Amino acid sequence: MEIIQGLTTVLTSPMLMGWILAGAITGMVVGAIPGLTTAAAIAMVLPLTFFMEPLAALSFLYVIGKSGRYGGSIAAILFNTPGTAAAAATQIDGHQLALQGKASKAMKVATISSVIGDFIGDIILILAIGFIASIALRLGPPELFSIYFAAFILIGTVVGKSIIRGLASAFVGILVSMVGIDPISAKERLTFGLMELTGGVSLVPLMIGLFVLGEVLSQAEQCTSGSKNQDMPPNTRDNHLLTWSEYRSCVPHVLRSSLIGAVIGMLPGLGSSIAAFIAYGVGKQRAKNSDQWGKGALEGVAAPEAANNAVSGPSMAPLLTLGIPGSTIGAMLIGVFLIHGITIGPTLFITSSELVYTLFACGLVGIVFYGLLGYFGAAKVGQLIQKIPAGLMYPLILLTAFIAAYLFRGSLFDVVVMIVFGVVGWLMRKFDFSPAAFVISFVLAGGAEETFRQSLRLSEHGMLIFFTRPLALAFLVIGLFGLAYRIRGFFRDRSAS
């Protein structure tokens, strides 16, 4: 089996193991810092990976994504500030446990649940991806365009608080991606006479601006320069240890939540935070001790953490088979694939099957690494981060973002792009738009336009081709159904309030 071969490659390569360990540490630390997202960290280190071998670069970033999803729980439990959006579900019970002097116990539950969820997600990915790729090979331009359409609608309506602003974020992403030279007719579009824009807006500086500078500006608006000191009751020996009898009641929640996370991970645009909250909600409904949830139930930490990390592996499925990122991190990985000359899509499994399965193997090893680091070291990471003043951290992040944007192509214009989209990212956060929907749509728009125009060339009846091909029609209906469902939910919530 290719995965066994991949594991052998990884375990016999000290360099790869080193990069996976670096990714596990980086992701955990970054995820644990409130206000610094894993996406921001990946955006900043992405230019550094240009100097690395493709597999080392991909494995480093992939493991940062996995480990970062887990790392968010550290800040959520210790500082009552989730390090990632998904960790907001962990925060509900996690911080209550910390206030009861059980921070270490809570973090151990989070670690074990994340590891189990991540493993289950990865196993589902490894078993299912060959099948998904074989189906994807049979899809033509009309079907692919319909999938893109459904992805845009789902991303725009589910991500973020407002349907209108979520969709608007997606359409702004589409519009920005149109800048440059049209690949079919070679006409300039939206370049405003600037030669630097004829190649389009570069993804890397855009992401650094949106996720790093945008976040720094948001934090600057709120922050003080002090450190995040909180008085916590000390951990007693009993509260430091986690026994099997305590964790046993979490197991059904972990297994259920892992499946929830895996299914949601396969759907583009939904992501970890939705999986975590759905898992928390379902878990609370089915729990025998539901009255304890919200007051410091260990199960209330286990469920969202398992779901959160179970998203990681399956979110690679639409990315690798269709080129549709399932998450912001996936959108960034597309950039890495492109830079290293690897074409993603269904033919990836024909041309680079070994690379793909070795990447999955790197993910499995990465889970082991962050699991061990987290189980024995999460508390120490949290204490260290607590001591770093925001006034020291954010300026360094800002200065690093500058050089990271310049690093991409050695162009100061990219730094200008970074600043522009930094302001855009800040304003998007301020007015409840969705930077995630923006960047995913930005990445997808080129493929969507290409398949749309190819479909029209294939068709004898114009746009009717999307309605006469059953699979294409099915995906269009899924997208519209998703929109209708969300709108219905919005009006229902509004009338209830």
Partner 1 sequence: MKYVLQKDYIPAAALVAMGAAGVWTSLHIELDSLEGWGARVFPIFASVALCALGVLEFLKTSFAFEVNDEKVFPSLRPWFIIGLTLAYIWMVARFGYHLSTALISPAIFATFGIRSPIFLFASAVLVPFFFHVLFFELLGIFPPIAKWFDPFVMVRGY
Q: Please report, as ranges, the residues that interact with partner 1 according to CB under 8 A.
A: 48, 51, 164-165, 167-168, 171-172, 174-175, 178, 182, 184-185, 187-190, 192, 213, 216-218, 220-226, 389-392, 394-396, 398-400, 402-403, 406-407, 410, 412, 415-416, 419, 422-423, 426, 430-431, 433, 445, 448-449, 452-453
Distance CA(65)–CA(71), nearest Å, equals 10
Q: What is the nearest approach in angstroms of partner 1 to the Cβ of residue 228?
A: 14
Q: What is the nearest approach in angstroms of partner 1 to the Cβ of residue 35?
A: 12
Written as one string, the DSSP assignment of 65-78 is: HHHHHHHHHHHHHH
Beta bridge partners of 181: 188
Coil, helix or strand for 363? helix
**Of residues 298 and 439, the one with the C-beta less far from partner 1:** 439
**Of residues 246 and 432, the one with the C-beta less far from partner 1:** 432
**Of residues 299 and 414, the one with the C-beta less far from partner 1:** 414
Distance CA(183)–CA(154), nearest Å, equals 27
Beta bridge partners of 189: 180
Reference 311, options 253, 370, 265, 280; nearest CA is 265
**Of residues 51 and 244, the one with the C-beta less far from partner 1:** 51
Q: What is the nearest approach in angstroms of partner 1 to the Cβ of residue 454?
A: 11
The whole-angstrom distance between residue 395's C-alpha and the CA centroid of its chain comes to 25
Q: What is the nearest approach in angstroms of partner 1 to the Cβ of residue 463?
A: 11
Per-residue DSSP letter, 188: E
**Of residues 233 and 395, the one with the C-beta less far from partner 1:** 395
Q: What is the nearest approach in angstroms of partner 1 to the Cβ of residue 191?
A: 10
**Of residues 203 and 359, the one with the C-beta less far from partner 1:** 203
Is residue 323 within 8 A of residue 445, CB to CB? The reply is no
**Of residues 73 and 441, the one with the C-beta less far from partner 1:** 441
Q: What is the nearest approach in angstroms of partner 1 to the Cβ of residue 186?
A: 9
**Of residues 240 and 453, the one with the C-beta less far from partner 1:** 453
Beta bridge partners of 188: 181
Based on its alpha-carbon atoms, the radius of gyration of the chain, rounded to whole angstroms, reads 22
Is residue 202 within 8 A of residue 408, CB to CB? The reply is yes
**Of residues 4 and 396, the one with the C-beta less far from partner 1:** 396
Q: What is the nearest approach in angstroms of partner 1 to the Cβ of residue 317?
A: 26
Q: What is the nearest approach in angstroms of partner 1 to the Cβ of residue 127?
A: 37
Is residue 449 within 8 A of residue 180, CB to CB? The reply is no
Outline where DSSP puts E strands in 115-246: 180-181, 188-189
How far from each other are the two terminal CA atoms of the chain, in whole angstroms? Answer: 55
The tokens describing 336, both together, are 């890495």
Distance CA(434)–CA(425), nearest Å, equals 9
Coil, helix or strand for 81? coil
CB neighbourhood size of 173 (10 A): 26
**Of residues 248 and 387, the one with the C-beta less far from partner 1:** 387
**Of residues 416 and 473, the one with the C-beta less far from partner 1:** 416
The tokens describing 368, both together, are 């082991």
Q: What is the nearest approach in angstroms of partner 1 to the Cβ of residue 219?
A: 9
Q: For the stretch 121-130, what's the b/e string if a residue is b when 16 or more beta carbons lie within 10 angstroms of its beta carbon?
A: bbbbbbebbe
3-state secondary structure 245-295: HHHHCCHHHHHHHHHHHHHHHHCCCCHHHHHHHHHHHHHHHHCCCHHHCCC
Coil, helix or strand for 401? helix
Is residue 71 within 8 A of residue 27, CB to CB? The reply is yes
**Of residues 384 and 412, the one with the C-beta less far from partner 1:** 412
The tokens describing 255, both together, are 């297994």
Q: What is the nearest approach in angstroms of partner 1 to the Cβ of residue 111?
A: 31
Q: Residue 346 phi/psi, 5° resolution?
A: -60, -30
Q: What is the nearest approach in angstroms of partner 1 to the Cβ of residue 273?
A: 22
Q: What is the nearest approach in angstroms of partner 1 to the Cβ of residue 221?
A: 5
Element at 319 (helix H, strand E): helix 316-322
Written as one string, the DSSP assignment of 452-468 is: HHHHHHH-SSGGGHHHH
